[in-house]
Amino acid sequence: MLNRTLVSLTFLLTIISVSGQAQEKQRKVYRPDIPGSFLIDFGLNNGLNKPVNFNQGFWGSRTLNLYYHYPVRINNTKFTYNPGGGFSFERFKLVNDYTLSHQPNTDGTYQLVQSSTSILPTAGFRKSMIVSNYFDIMPLEFRFDTNPKDVTRSFSVTVGGRVGVLMESHTKVKYTDNGVSGIYKDKQPHGLNPFRYGVYTRIGIGNFNWFWFYNISHYFANGKGPYTSAIDPTPSAMNTMTIGISLNGF
Q: Is the pLDDT of residue 185 over 60?
A: yes
- Tell me, what's the pLDDT at 197? 98
Q: Is the pLDDT of residue 153 over 70?
A: yes
Backbone torsions φ then ψ of 117, nearest 5 degrees: -100, -25
Overall average pLDDT of the 205-223 stretch: 96
The average confidence (pLDDT) of the chain is 86
Maximum distance among all alpha carbons in the chain? 101
What's the pLDDT band for 175 if we cut at 50, 70, 90? confident
Neighbours of 188 (CB within 10 A): 14
Neighbours of 43 (CB within 10 A): 21
Overall average pLDDT of the 19-34 stretch: 50
- Tell me, what's the pLDDT at 33? 59
Q: Per-residue pLDDT tens for 75-125? A: 999 999 999 999 999 999 998 889 999 899 999 999 999 877 666 655 667
Q: Is the pLDDT of residue 13 over 50?
A: no
Which distant-in-sequence residues (6+ apart) come within 8 Å of 114 by Cβ? 97, 98, 125
- Tell me, what's the pLDDT at 20? 52
Q: Is the pLDDT of residue 180 over 90?
A: no
Q: 181 to each of 9, 124, 166, 173, 175, how far by Cα in Å?
A: 64, 9, 30, 11, 6
Q: Is the pLDDT of residue 160 over 70?
A: yes
Q: How far apart are CA 201 and CA 213, in angstroms?
A: 7
Q: How large a percentage of the chain has pLDDT more than 70?
A: 82
Q: How far apart are CA 240 and CA 15, in angstroms?
A: 62
Backbone torsions φ then ψ of 205, nearest 5 degrees: -130, 125
- Tell me, what's the pLDDT at 36? 83
CA angle 169, 60, 195 (to 5 degrees): 30
- Tell me, what's the pLDDT at 123? 63
Q: Per-residue pLDDT tens for 222-242? A: 999 999 988 888 998 999 999
Q: Is the pLDDT of residue 70 over 50?
A: yes
